[in-house]
Structure 1
């Protein structure tokens, strides 16, 4: 089996996994499991992409990348699973259920197959990082591992800050704008995106891949590029913020005026006035 066949097999498996997620998510109160399945599926796909015996003995780089993919997947998927409460839908899917009405089940299937395709594209980033043929481990491998570690820690801190905020009864109708949430309206998404930069750094390496005839490494840039589009324009911020506007109203509009949606950069006075 070559890398193309391996990638095709991973794509098929991810499609099946998200079909299973669709069966579960059709039931009210079960949509949160979609993200659990998606997270674990990417991790499993990443481990297979990194370690499947395709092109000779398994290298230290393959083991490193497989470990990074598995660690990211287990942390995120387990965090989401522990957060889910029986009978409570994810607010993003509640918004889609409201928007799609009677066509929810049909449109959800297509939506989750798009997420399967997104997962496949992300697995390609992992694959080309793991299969970089440069001998031994280089500083770029360490840099990639450090980037993913910082991303995981940052996302865990953001999740903990939001969890602490929500557990305080006094904050029931308020919007979290403290800690990392005072720098970005979605700091967890920022760190989620940042983690995918790690695979591009490993895949491309210090010589741009050309020293080892590995121009394919540049494909790993598709991971952070596509993850940014997914989080900022498709399944992340848009449905979540639509829900927040419906449930928090003016409180969330005030947050939108003061804090950027994604990049943790202070807004200028002109931008605040225009918002």
Structure 2
């Protein structure tokens, strides 16, 4: 009896940034690397086949999503992006923006038939504005939000849900221990919340971040509010495994990281 196809997860984490001329333009994102590795292990334990990549340029990130159009997929496609960002875009390690609308266009039913009927779930850990742009551990890399930022949501393809770490116009907190948002996601995936419908899980994440987290130091008391956007027409349970979670010592081919990882950002 053939083994059912595994759902796929693509995780991209950018921690070190330099422009094409070699100038370091943005601060390193301490804590993001370890956090992404924990997420990849948890998803592998939930029977996902995980592809984890570090420090990719905007163009390389775009190509990665194009490659998903020719992959074999199970019931779900999950993608986590952890990087600097601005409203409507995430930044590659070359400091260049990749518009989220471009990613959604690549994975649309017209361009990616293999994922047309499969739920696609995105978690975006990146700034969406400069409202918190002076903190030591705040990702303060973008300008003011665009007046028509809501139009970005119109590009989300059918059967897609996107959860942002913060609301439009605001920054996303990160410190060496990790980010408020992805730490809450890790706790949910490792706990009972993983059995919930995605919309209910997102509500729990909102509460965990908005009510249970706050900045310290110079920004003592500052808060962060995630934002969940979906056009899924029904409840989905992407993290509710049919059986027991896989042992942490046996990923069953769930990782695709070996030759992909690079220590330094590449120029475009």
Q: Which has the higher helix share?
A: 1
TM-score of the superposition, structure 1-length normalised?
0.31
TM-score of the superposition, structure 2-length normalised?
0.32
- Bigger-Rg structure (1/2): 1
